[in-house]
Amino acid sequence: MPDGKPNIVFILTDDQALWGVGCYGNPEIRTPHIDDLAETGVRIQNFYTSTPVCSASRATYLTGKINSQHGVHDWIRRDPAGDMAGSFLDGQVTYADALAANGWTCGQFGKWHLGERELADHGFDYHFFRLYGGGNYNDAPFIRNGIREETTGYVSDVITDDAVDWISARAADGDPFYASVHYTAPHSPWYGHPQDIVDSYADCPFESCPQEEPHPWMTGSPTEFKGGKQMLQGYFAAVTAMDACVGRIVAHLDKLKIREDTFIVFVSDNGFNFGHHGVWGKGNGTFPFNMYENSVKVPGIFNQPGTVGAGRVFEGLYSSYDVMPTLMDHAGLPLPSGVKLPGRSFLATLRGDAEESRDRVVVFDEFGGTRMIRTPRWKYIHRYDVGPNQLFDMVNDPDERTDLAPDPDYAGRITSMRSLLEDWFDAHTVSERDGRKFGVTGFGQISRLSGELEADRERFAQSWSDPRGF
């Protein structure tokens, strides 16, 4: 490693739940390269995002803060009157800031979705990102270092080509680098994917995606649409095509003889329900918002030969807000001062220097007025805005089929869980960014701060043409 500083390749996918990866137990989907990263590294079985929606989740990965600290509460949408606003992390310190200030060269490829003019302010020397965060998978518009560029070809391949070329140049420089490779896959649309891969799933029974009767909360939700075999083929094809791109990046690191110098992280921004529980979508796939495991639980794979122990599976509870402290720890850098970060590094455990922590027993999520606390046995969801509250026994009811909240026998359990939840959020929330205050709807956010979300909703409710969002 250059001067003992690891290269970092951070691979972030879009709308990929655990059921969308082979190594997490789905025998129907083909992800051989991701599976190999897990087999030769560490797979976290219970890895949660801080929120079940994309832009807000991405902001947490970068800053290590929860939504009610950094102020991004929904996915970022374009203002129909103009382009996307330029700055959603103004005043926030990201790990890219810290890396750039300490000798790393930072590049971003693919989906950014946190404001089109933001990257130069957060340590990125180079960027090549998908305009507007997503859309069609072929011949898509990108922004390269501030200049719009029309590309030719399949988006996952375009992102990978640019990342591989940039990594080659950085390896030649000899300086440590951070490559943030953000695929739009497997987010909708589920057409336009390589036809041979789509056809290869023609006979798949898709038992991993049971098409249940629509959930009653689907009515009127921002993501009210229903799956079908053609959509399922497209989703699976998007994953498999993206997996091949992951394989290309890893093979290129091997070719450049820098694999052992490179820390690879593979995660997703949020999960997805493709018929599970009668939901087609993520957290905003229903109203009230849902916190089903398929919405908030994602792959968490960490790999560096010779540094990260191979073939281990962590069973504890981990969150996306733990990633920033872990990256900073691996880079040998201190955490930002003056802020109480909710997460903590698990680098020592990845290295095998410490046993998996037995006190890592609680994770927390939020989405507007909906908040969740998850322990090894219990999941409690409190909805401050519209209700209802829910309690699930995750040991005896891992598929979350029986809501125990209405049962008076569990009143004491609910009281204790709510107290833990509120104490934790009180300790970390920045009052003027508290997600409970702003009527988050799941229809998207166009403002820098969440206090304007309600005005956003009123202004654009009639003009909204694609309720699924990117």
Note if the pTM is more than 0.85: yes
| CATH superfamily membership of 2-360+443-460 | Alkaline Phosphatase, subunit A (3.40.720.10)
Nearest to 261 by CA among 449, 45, 5, 67: 5
CA neighbours closer than 13 Å in the CB half-sphere of residue 313: 9
Q: What is the DSSP string of 143-208?
A: EETTEEEE--SBHHHHHHHHHHHHHHHHHHHTS-EEEEEE--TTSSP--SS-HHHHHHTTT---TT
Burial of 1 from C-beta contacts in 10 A (0-12 / 13-18 / 19+): middle
pLDDT in tens, the chain (470 residues): 657 799 999 999 999 999 999 999 999 999 999 999 999 999 999 999 999 999 999 999 999 999 999 999 998 876 655 555 556 787 888 999 999 999 999 999 999 888 765 556 678 999 999 988 889 999 999 999 988 999 999 999 999 999 999 999 999 999 999 999 999 999 999 999 999 999 999 999 999 999 999 999 987 666 656 668 999 999 999 999 999 999 999 999 999 999 999 999 999 999 999 999 999 999 999 989 999 999 999 999 999 999 999 999 999 999 999 999 999 999 999 998 888 999 999 999 999 988 876 556 689 999 999 999 999 999 999 999 889 999 999 999 999 999 999 999 999 999 999 999 999 999 999 999 999 988 888 888 876 554 444 444 444 333 333 333 33
Q: Provide the 10 A C-beta neighbour count for residue 465.
A: 6
